[in-house]
Chain A
Amino acid sequence: MKRRTKTLATLLLLTAASAFTLQHQAPEAAAVAQRRTQTRQRRRAPQRTAAPRVDYTKFSHRTAEHRRGSCSSCHESPTANWARAREGASAFPDVTDYPGHSSCLGCHRQQFFSGARPAICTVCHTVVSPRNGNRFPFQNPDEPYALSPKMQRRPDPDFTNEFPHDRHQDVMARATPPRGDPEGAALFVRASFARQQKPAARPVDSCSICHATYQPLGDSKDGYALKPPGELPTNELRIEAYWLKKGTLKSTPTSHASCFNCHWQDGGERPLASDCAGCHKLKPPPARPAPSPTPSDTDAAHPSVKAVADPEVLALFRQRRVARYRHEVSAHEGVGCTACHVAITSSGGLNANTMYVPIQTCSSSKCHGSPRSPNNIILREMEQRKKPDGAGYECAMCHVVYGRLPTPKSHSGLFPSAAK
């Protein structure tokens, strides 16, 4: 009996010991198994994340597959809706609509039919629903597009526009040399008792053919682009505090209207309207964050700048180095554009450098060049800063942001004799 009891006790102890051992070994084994799985998962994981995740809510012309075909493989010229895209007399044959579904389906059939609300539909459609065909405005004409949420979502376009200024100026070159009035030729003078209308001023150069004054002064008495909140304070030289005035800015043609009348595809000049890439050049993808742009003289946050509704005009205004300069002042208009924008006719492309106006175009003029001239505001403002209490003076006749900075050498060296 004792022997049976001993054997039973031994067996029980062994069972308990093995159960205890197993109980303690199990988590380790499970952990090892988990680690193995994790290792396998980790080994596999890089393969999964390596595949680029495509955001089908955004369309890019830069995608290699999209660049493979010609523009006309997707875009029709003109689109069927051109007559409705612009109102009445401003309508002309143009590319004013998205390409059809068929230009996408060849490659994106899977994305078109994935889930109840396929992400790819949001590239064009405002609501993803088979019952709702509403779309965001197409990028052309640009006025409705500029106000659309799609523009807010992707304000940076894929393309830059290439416009060779010099070539277009050459096309408009005069053919014959100027001739004096032929001797003895009869001169007809219009005679009338009625008051004659003042003849339109002859433009000094060909720039005004395309570039008009944005928000011209017209009949406005004070000339402010927006009504200021009250009377504006003046500084020591009686220069009014900054508030954007009409006649300051110039517009730039942005529509195909100024291109297609010569470059239309059925007989016009090359590049033809159907050859989009002739003018629209794909921008390279941003390799790294763009360097912060050089601060301009324009205070884009100024309340009066809200008056500039045109995004193209605003973009050019934001690059200005002389924010307060007004084009529409009679003395400035009479000078002509290329008398100040001196590098434009020598250049094919336009950029901040070719648009640059050297200060010498002002300082060598009759108005702002003579040290004794009351209009020599460059000199008067520099002299104001030299006064005992003038250290904090902000140059305000031409500048907004730059006026707070120290006088640069380009300015201080202009009137050496007057400075002595």
Chain B
Amino acid sequence: MMPDRHEANAVAGAALALCCLLLAAADARSQSAAGACKVNTPQGVKPDAASGQTTAVRIAVVGPGGKPVERKRFYLLERSAKETAFAGMPPAPRREEFLQGASAELRSWLARHDCDTLYCPEYEADYASAVKTVPEFRKAYEDGLRKYKSERLALEWLTVNFPLKNVRTEFYTRRKTWLEEAARRAGRVSSVMTDEKGVAFFTGIRPGAYYVSNLAPLEGGLVWDCAVTALPPIPKQLHSVTVEMSAPK
């Protein structure tokens, strides 16, 4: 009897551990940290949607460590993303889900390079070394050399012959589709991309109430959903309101 009970306990324990693991994984998948929002509204200016004048909202985004969130797309929405876009939608695609078939060297190389696709121009400087160390790049280079009979072209056109299409653009394509659907649900007004200082402007918008969100969480799970009231234009300034977005403390 004892061995049986032990066996049953062991099975139950393993099942419990598996459940815990699955729950933790599911939780990690759905978990996203809410970004902090601070709206700087000038004193004494009241919204006047009837004026017909358009205005602008400036956003300044910093991530963990106080560094600017560069080259990320943010959306101006009519409704809260949390209440509309995320309800009933599958989680946003994550890059690690699109690395099937990738070698360990490629995974390591991508982790060191900070881009949504293989097309960040900063990558090009590293192609020459990548073809020596990463099997996928080496294959792409050899294919290119065979086709174009030119080492220069084989290197410059490396992505054309890159063997794993899922790694190359599938993540970008799927996430773009997801973002468009999420933005549609939340009433997309406009979208902008931050510069290297983490700054961008929503211009040509009517004064009124909006939300600003990145919709798809950053890799660490950080997502903003900031309410903002766009005020009428201030003559000297391009924008009437600034939304400062940061990581939670």
Contacts and interface: CB of A to CB of B under 8 A. Distances in A.
Nearest to B110: A175
B71 A169 contact: yes
Contacts of B195: 204-205, 336-339
A265 to B, nearest CB: 9
Nearest to B120: A172
Interface residues of A, number: 49
Contact of A180 (B65, B172, B196): B65
Interface of B (DSSP majority class): mixed
A260 interface: yes
Contacts of A266: 147, 160-161
Interface size class of B (residues with CB under 8 A): 35 or more
A179 interface: yes
A180 B156 CA distance: 33
Interface in A166-199: 166, 169-181
B169 A269 contact: yes
Contacts of A180: 64-67
Interface stretch (A224-232, A360-368, A385-393): A360-368
B119 interface: yes
Contact of A179 (B67, B192, B201, B238): B67
A343 B69 CA distance: 19
B218 A177 contact: yes
Given A169-B193, A261-B160, A414-B236, A174 B116 contact: yes
B237 interface: yes
Contacts of A178: 62-65, 67-70
Contact of B119 (A172, A361, A413): A172
Interface of B: 56, 62-73, 95, 114-117, 119-121, 147-148, 152-153, 156-157, 159-162, 169, 172, 176, 190-193, 195-197, 199-204, 218-220, 222, 235-238, 247
16 contacts: A89-B152, A92-B157, A166-B191, A169-B193, A172-B71, A172-B117, A175-B114, A181-B65, A202-B196, A262-B159, A266-B161, A268-B159, A342-B203, A343-B204, A358-B203, A413-B235
Interface of A: 89, 92-93, 166, 169-181, 202-206, 209, 260-262, 264, 266-269, 336-339, 342-343, 345-346, 358, 360-361, 363-364, 369, 413-416
